[in-house]
Amino acid sequence: MNFNGIAGFLWSVADLLRGDYKQSDYGKIVLPFTLLRRLDCVLEATKPAVLAEYQARKHLKMPLDQFLTRKSGQSFYNISELDFPKLLADPANIKANLIAYIGSFSENARDIFERYDFTVQIEKLDSSSNSRSMALMGSYGCGREPKQVLSRSKVWDMSVSSWAERAVL
């Protein structure tokens, strides 16, 4: 999917948020879900190795970040058995599973979602008339290139400027 296709898809999902969210608040949902899906895609190939490493070392009672980031090949990791396909396969438990999945990221990745107060937004979505938006946000495919993930500050800068422009239009 090209950039315009992804943007169109994201805005169609944002349209589902009308009523529960002001247009200027769509970024509180769309951006974290977009990032979450991207991180899930980036970690997909190394997830089994990360989970095996975590299982082998979790009893050591020591910080595991260096081992798990080495296995993930990124500066972050996730130790949950869940991924987006598994989240989507269990819509009845998507809220609890999504919160647990986010909580299983390394601290540096969790920090991004905490800055968005994403758990609060998940709770709000779950209690709203648009709770299906959570499943829809994770349903679009992974872009495989580039494999490198943007830095946290770059993602933040892009998200703030993008949503500011969109809110003004």
pLDDT digits over 54-104, tens only? 999 999 989 999 999 999 999 999 999 999 889 888 888 888 999 999 999
Query: In the predicted model, what is the mean pLDDT of the chain?
Result: 77
Q: Which of 38, 36, 151, 43 is nearest to 101 (CA)?
A: 36
Residues 6+ apart with CB under 8 A from 117: 28
Residue 9 pLDDT class (50, 70, 90 cuts): low
Domain boundaries, the chain: 3-168
Q: Which two tokens stand for residue 24?
A: 């200027």
pLDDT digits over 106-118, tens only? 999 999 999 999 9
CB 20 within 8 A of CB 121: no
Question: Using CA atoms, how far apart are residues 13 and 26, in angstroms rounded to an integer?
Answer: 10
Question: Using CA atoms, how far apart are residues 75 and 43, in angstroms rounded to an integer?
Answer: 11
Place of tokens 């997830």: 47
